[in-house]
A and B are shown apart, each in its own frame.
Chain A
Amino acid sequence: GAGVSQSPRYKVAKRGQDVALRCDPISGHVSLFWYQQALGQGPEFLTYFQNEAQLDKSGLPSDRFFAERPEGSVSTLKIQRTQQEDSAVYLCASSLGSRDSALDTQYFGPGTRLTVL
């Protein structure tokens, strides 16, 4: 079946521009996560949704970062007034949202590589 998809795969923005990154989770997956992966580093958690509710946004680095999932399916990560330090790969993951969430497996998309010039 179809996995997690993300678009665009690559995005180049000039400093100060706004960008929007899209994530299509696996159909039926309740939970959706965003991670940021800097070059040569492991991914770092940004935010988490259960259906349309944003339950944790503790990883968002600044108020320039905003995520939404209005209908509990597709999610968009928006970055306003991009800065060079925002350059990274942005990964989206989804999971079933099992009752025992510690056992839940997160399935990752291919990521969006953002380069801010």
Chain B
Amino acid sequence: AQSVTQLDSHVSVSEGTPVLLRCNYSSSYSPSLFWYVQHPNKGLQLLLKYTSAATLVKGINGFEAEFKKSETSFHLTKPSAHMSDAAEYFCVVNQAGTALIFGKGTTLSVSS
């Protein structure tokens, strides 16, 4: 069975500093991996997805993630945090091409 583990439930950064949100996955075959963001009272928005074309994936709003098979990781990074990045972030694996399996989420707080 596939699963994802988000290693931090809450991450706090200062505006302008780097962001690192950690995710490890478990999959018996080559997975499809995603990061979604959820702002308060808004729907889930896709940040980026890994589809085996390239291990370094660039997404929207300056976010990127690197697929590391040897470490079974798919960490999300951003060089410089902005106040508007404060939200809930979910690491997601695709199960057999249909149902998405979500991690428990990481709350990102950004202080000025």
Q: Residues of A with Cβ closer than 8 Å to B?
A: 3-4, 31, 33, 35, 40-45, 48, 55-56, 59, 91, 93, 100-111
Q: Residues of B with Cβ closer than 8 Å to A?
A: 32, 36, 41-46, 49, 51, 90, 94-95, 97-105
Which residues of A sit under 8 angstroms from B43, Cβ to Cβ? 3-4, 91, 108-111
Which residues of A sit under 8 angstroms from B105, Cβ to Cβ? 40-42
Task: Find the residue from B36, B45, B97 having the highest chain A CB count within 10 A.
Answer: B97
Number of A-B residue pairs, CB cutoff 8 Å, is 59
Determine the distance from Cα of A108 to Cα of B45 in the docked complex, in whole angstroms: 7
Task: State whether A43 touches B102 (Cβ < 8 A).
Answer: yes
The chain B residue sitting closest to A99, CB to CB, is: B97
Task: State whether B44 touches A45 (Cβ < 8 A).
Answer: no
B99 to chain A minimum Cβ distance, whole angstroms, is 4
Task: State whether A106 touches B97 (Cβ < 8 A).
Answer: no
Determine the distance from Cα of A35 to Cα of B99 in the docked complex, in whole angstroms: 9
Task: State whether B99 touches A45 (Cβ < 8 A).
Answer: yes
25 of the cross-chain contacts (CB-CB < 8 Å) are: A4-B43, A31-B98, A33-B98, A33-B99, A33-B100, A35-B100, A41-B105, A42-B104, A42-B105, A43-B44, A44-B102, A56-B99, A100-B97, A102-B32, A102-B94, A103-B49, A104-B97, A105-B49, A106-B46, A106-B100, A107-B46, A108-B36, A108-B43, A110-B43, A111-B43
